[in-house]
């Protein structure tokens, strides 16, 4: 596991350079033109585009082996089950989890977090504390607020500094014997800040708390090793990892998952059902009620294969280069304010332009074929910290290029001309 | 720059977004309402001073994109000395213009016509209508903040 930025940088230094032009051909959507101009897709933190192999994996399932899984004796059902379970193995291997039973397949990060809040949360009492940070996405805030309404748990918030970095001293000071669970993002979606997980996990464990990591933004950019990290839960989505929407993962430490009650009731999650009472299936199926997104899961497996073939260190090095270029241009751009200048940062550039609302920036860039995200990025507390209603966010992926970064800044110059 | 874009960010709109008219509180207000667009973070408070069924004064405060600010600014200008019934008819005509459903019987919109270009940008229509939905709430004394999303 790469616990420090330095370790990652040394890996990046030996990573082969990406042949981005060749990789771009793997993504059919990148051939699209928007109003006659080539698409410049810089909204990867919202969702990444899908390579043909992922699209093919989904359509192959529907065209050749569509059947429900885990319960048919017929040929198709067995093929579908094998393909779906093979995807689970790929996920396990990808994040270095000890056992496949610890990989719960969900519909996304949001569901993964809600699963923990709902199920693990049943063991919490009034007055127990949950510690989050100020940089969390709404999906790592609201489930804990809902839990508080049900169980009387108390939500504590560790603040960030003006660079958008977690204040580790304040984080440590907020941990106490009532802290039962820490829920923290690996990488902030609004700021790009990467949290020093090894330190935070050690602090949480020393306080006797379990820790859930929201890896939605991180998994496409950083190698993740849940065993080396020693985290208790790790949640992420497939669709930001070049995989299908409606796919997600919850890694959970076996002992915790075994002790937790089911999340939803239904088919597949049971061992035996009678009106006198029912018993639950083994892990991970206890947490997988109903027919899952089978095609999506298979597509996620293909996405992981795709990313591993290219290699996350090489992807991270390429994205670090794009971010460095974009940051340098941003710093030299008059009237531009960067929101999020953490020392350890992923490929996200969040900013505002003086006197121009982000929505107007987004509309004008869109007429040039440039897709960025504008708004609060489901992180309203972050907007409040920086006293802005919204930001413009450009986020990079393995297929973005330096000429696309240049196109972004040419677009921003036009925005300023419109409002001159 | 595309013709649609030039049409959206006309000089009048940029000017009203930079220097909104009737901007600020209205201590004599007889009614007020709050509008909020959670997608863009746009928010405004609209103040009306209504007497004998006529809007004597309309002012607003808040933050928003160029389209929502210009729309609020132009709206407050159009509402001065406007009978409340006419104000509602004006909104209906304004809405029809943005929806591309104008009829010959609709009220003339005057200066508000500059916002017609928003029609070409469907994701921005809610920016242009935020102030107007807030107006309806203020006229009807609704205390819940108005949301457009």
Q: Are A197 and A186 in contact (CB under 8 A)?
A: yes
Both tokens of residue A287? 């947490």
Task: Specify the pLDDT at position A407.
Answer: 98
Q: What is the CATH number of domain A5-50+312-418?
A: 3.90.1150.10
Residue A11: predicted pLDDT: 63
Distance from CA of A364 to the nearest CA of B (A): 7
Token pair for B63 = 């933050």
Both tokens of A365, joined, read: 């860039």
Interface predicted TM-score of the whole assembly (ipTM), two decimals:
0.90
Q: Which of A190, A385, A387, A389 to mutate to test the interface with B (most CBs of B within 10 A)?
A: A389
Q: What is the mean pLDDT of chain B?
A: 91
B121 vs A356, A363, A419: nearest CB: A363
Paired residues of A212 in beta bridges: A183, A233
pLDDT at B104: 77
Residues on chain B bordering chain A, Cβ-to-Cβ distance under 8 angstroms: 1-2, 4-5, 8-9, 14, 18, 38-43, 63-67, 121, 123-124, 127
Would you list the domain boundaries of chain A?
A: 5-50+312-418, 54-308
Which element (helix H / strand E) includes A348?
Answer: strand A348-353
A136, A185 contact by CB (below 8 A):
yes
Q: What is the pLDDT of residues B89-105, one digit of tens each?
A: 999 999 999 998 888 77
Q: How far apart are CA B45 and CA A203, in angstroms?
A: 45
**Chain B residues whose beta carbon lies within 8 Å of the beta carbon of residue A414:** 1
pLDDT of residue B142: 65
- Model pTM? 0.93
3-state secondary structure of A367: coil
Return the ∠ at Cα A214 (arms to A211 and A217), rounded to 5°: 150
Chain B touched by A419 (CB under 8 Å):
yes
| Ramachandran area for residue A146 (φ above 0: left; ψ -120 to 50: alpha; else beta) | alpha
Q: Residue A374 in contact with residue A197, Cβ under 8 Å?
A: no
State which residues of chain A have pLDDT below 70.
1-14
Q: Quick check: helix, strand or coil at residue A93?
A: helix
Residues 359-388 of chain A whose Cβ lies under 8 A from any Cβ of chain B: 359-360, 363-364, 367, 374-376, 383
User: And the tokens for A394?
Assistant: 């450009």
pLDDT computed for residue A9 by the predictor = 64
Number of H helices and number of E strands within chain A? 15, 17
pLDDT of residue A1: 44
Question: What pLDDT is stored for residue A13 in this prediction?
Answer: 63
Question: What dotted CATH number matches B3-147?
Answer: 3.90.1010.10
| Best mutation target, B6, B66, B125, to test chain A (most A CBs within 10 A) | B66
Bridge partners, residue A33, by sequence = A38
Task: Please tell me the distance from the alpha carbon of residue A116 to that of residue A210, in angstroms, as a whole number.
Answer: 11
In chain A, residues with a C-beta closer than 8 Å to the C-beta of B8 are 363
Q: Do the Cβ atoms of A418 and B14 come within 8 Å?
A: yes
Give residue A79's pLDDT.
Answer: 96
Can you tell me the distance from the alpha carbon of B3 to that of A27, in angstroms, rounded to the nearest whole number?
31
Cα nearest neighbour of A377 on chain B: B39
Q: Look at residues A119, A69, A102, A412 and name the one whose alpha carbon lies nearest to residue A262.
A: A119
Could you tell me which chain A residue has the CA closest to the CA of B122?
A363
Residue A201, CA distances (Å) to A7, A39, A90, A99 in order = 18, 40, 25, 20
Residue of A nearest to B42 (CA): A389
pLDDT at A2: 47
Active site residue A378: yes
A54-308 is classed CATH 3.40.640.10: yes
Nearest CA to CA, how far is A165 from chain B (Å)?
24
Edge-to-edge strand list for the sheet holding A348-353: A336-338, A348-353, A391-395, A373-375
Instruction: Tell which wins on pLDDT, B140 or B40.
Output: B140
CA-closest candidate to residue A239, choices A376, A108, A345, A362: A108
Q: Give just the sign of the alpha carbon dihedral A409, A415, A416, B1.
A: positive
């Amino acid at each position: 596991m790469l616990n420090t930025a330095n370790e990652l940088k040394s890996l990046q230094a030996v990573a082969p350079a990406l042949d981005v032009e060749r990789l771009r051909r793997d993504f059919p959507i990148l051939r699209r033109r928007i109003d006659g101009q080539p698409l410049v897709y810089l909204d990867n933190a919202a969702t990444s585009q899908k390579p043909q192999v992922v699209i093919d994996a989904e359509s192959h399932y529907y065209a050749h082996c569509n059947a429900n899984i885990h319960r048919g004796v017929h040929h198709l059902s067995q093929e579908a089950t094998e393909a779906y379970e093979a995807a689970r193995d790929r996920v396990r291997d990808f994040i270095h989890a000890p056992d496949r039973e610890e990989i719960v397949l969900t519909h996304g990060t949001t569901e993964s977090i809600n699963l923990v809040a709902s199920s693990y949360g049943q063991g919490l009492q009034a007055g127990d504390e949950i510690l989050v940070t100020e940089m969390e996405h709404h999906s790592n805030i609201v489930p804990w607020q809902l839990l508080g309404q049900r169980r009387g748990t108390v939500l504590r918030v560790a603040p960030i500094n003006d660079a958008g970095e977690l204040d580790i001293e304040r984080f440590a000071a907020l941990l106490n014997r009532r802290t039962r669970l820490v829920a923290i993002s690996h990488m902030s979606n609004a700021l790009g800040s990467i949290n020093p997980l090894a330190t935070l996990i050690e602090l949480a464990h020393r306080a006797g708390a379990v820790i859930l990591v929201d890896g939605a933004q991180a998994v496409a950019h950083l190698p993740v090793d849940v065993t080396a990290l020693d985290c208790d839960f790790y949640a992420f989505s497939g669709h930001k990892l070049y995989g299908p929407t409606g796919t997600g993962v919850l890694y959970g430490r076996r002992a915790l998952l075994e002790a937790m009650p089911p999340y939803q009731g239904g088919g597949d999650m049971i061992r035996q059902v009678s009106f006198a009472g029912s018993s639950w299936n083994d892990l991970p199926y206890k947490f997988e009620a109903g027919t899952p997104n089978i095609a999506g899961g298979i597509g996620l497996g293909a996405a992981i294969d795709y990313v591993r073939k290219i290699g996350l260190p090489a992807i991270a090095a390429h994205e670090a280069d794009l971010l460095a270029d974009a940051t340098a241009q941003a710093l030299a751009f008059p009237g531009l304010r960067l929101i999020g200048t953490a020392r350890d940062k992923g490929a996200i550039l969040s900013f505002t332009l003086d006197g121009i609302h982000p929505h107007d920036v987004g509309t004008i860039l869109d007429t040039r074929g440039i897709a960025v995200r504008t708004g609060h990025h489901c992180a309203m507390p972050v907007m409040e910290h920086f006293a802005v209603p919204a930001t413009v966010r450009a986020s990079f992926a393995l297929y973005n290029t330096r000429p696309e970064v240049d196109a972004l800044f040419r677009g921003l110059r036009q925005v300023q001309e419109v409002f001159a | 720059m595309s013709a649609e874009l030039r049409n959206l960010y006309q000089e009048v709109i940029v000017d009203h977004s930079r220097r909104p008219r009737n901007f600020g509180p209205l201590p004599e207000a007889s009614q007020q309402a709050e509008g909020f667009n959670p997608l863009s973070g746009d928010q405004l408070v609209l103040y009306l001073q209504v007497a004998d069924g006529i809007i004597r004064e309309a002012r607003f405060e808040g933050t928003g994109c160029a389209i929502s600010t210009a729309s609020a600014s132009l709206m407050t200008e159009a509402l001065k000395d406007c009978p409340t019934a006419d104000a509602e008819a004006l909104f209906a005509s304004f809405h029809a213009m943005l929806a591309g459903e104008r009829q010959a019987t609709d009220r003339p919109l005057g200066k508000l016509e500059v916002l017609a270009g928003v029609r070409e940008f469907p994701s921005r229509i809610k920016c242009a209508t935020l102030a107007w939905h807030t107006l309806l709430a203020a006229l009807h004394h609704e205390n819940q903040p108005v949301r457009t999303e």
